[in-house]
Amino acid sequence: MPERYSKQLKAIFSEFVIDTMNGIMVFDGKDQIIFCNKVIAEMYGLIDCSSVYGKTFNQMAAHCYHTNTGIIIDTDDLDSWLAYAKDKRRGQQYRRFEVDLHDGRWFLISEQLVHDDYIVMIATDITDKKNAESRLTEMSKELFLLATTDALTNVFNRRHFMEQALTEQKRCQREKFSYALLMLDLDTFKAINDNYGHACGDTVLVSIAKMIKKELRDYDLLGRIGGEEFAILLPNTSRKSALSISERIRCSIENLNIESKGHSIKATVSIGVAFDKNADKPLEDVFLIADKFLYHAKENGRNQVVLCD
């Protein structure tokens, strides 16, 4: 190649490297910086390149760590982190990874070992991509909640409760655990709607759902399966515990004062409990049993728990 073209190419390349939107940095075999552009300097929390040359990767990382600028280094032990980073950087010919910065930006980093153990690092701003991914994740969560959650009471809707209950029942069967299924229905709910209005009725449903949640364990399942009807599945539960939890729920609701639109409303619930010791009954049958005993609770005067024999 003629020398004049060689000089032109070097000038063009130099201008491109300095002005490109990508960050470019070169480390020598001793891990000292011999070249960087402004993008990389800012990525390490520095204003320009003049303060970067001659510094090592460890010094740059320590600067970010101690000043809370540039790249986020999430560790309680910087020395161990630096040792780990050294093994990664010098342990493979090429690698790619993502880093986030204290100013909210994200970069995709590629590092390549070249002759004489030099490292060429290129950083590409992927902030827009990460933000789009974050928005998509949030939208997916919202859609999942809409598909699985009762909009009023914020518990599982009927369909999702049935799906989760079947999964939990099969798990209990595999692990030879017993479980209980509770069918819970508000007593005289129509009268509440007629006397106080449907808005107050909605408040009653929300308040009762919250109260039930407080009485359940983290792994219990709760769903609204009808207008004023809820279902509860208690995995890995004995008959005695199922009865105790059911009574606790009933008493808590009976003692609950629900304030809505200037009214103080009292409510009670009837609960039918089915118990499957070996988790070997079809789930549909267990629902029918719980529903049967809920009917007995209603017929026997309401505001009570009836547990199957």
C-alpha 42, offset from chain centre: 32
Cβ atoms of 297 and 273 closer than 8 Å: no
Q: Cα separation of 161 and 183, whole Å?
A: 12
Burial class from Cβ neighbours inside 10 Å (0-12, 13-18, 19+) for residue 245 reads buried
Q: Is 228 a catalytic residue?
A: yes
Q: Cα separation of 119 and 287, whole Å?
A: 65
Residue with tokens 């990767």: 57
The beta-strand segments (E) located in 83-191 are 94-100, 106-114, 118-125, 179-186
The contacts of residue 62 (CB under 8 Å, 6+ apart) are: 78, 82
To the nearest 10°, report the CA torsion of 215, 216, 218, 221: -150
DSSP assignments along 208-269, one per residue: HHHHHHHHS-TT-EEEE-SSSEEEEEEES--HHHHHHHHHHHHHHHHT--EEETTEEE---E
Q: Cα separation of 95 and 91, whole Å?
A: 10
Say whether 172 sits in a helix, a strand or coil: helix
Q: Cα separation of 184 and 291, whole Å?
A: 9
Task: Indicate which residue of 42, 111, 168, 228 is catalytic.
Answer: 228
Which helix (DSSP H) or strand (DSSP E) does residue 36 occupy? strand 33-36
Say whether 65 sits in a helix, a strand or coil: helix
Any idea which residues carry the catalytic annotation?
Answer: 228
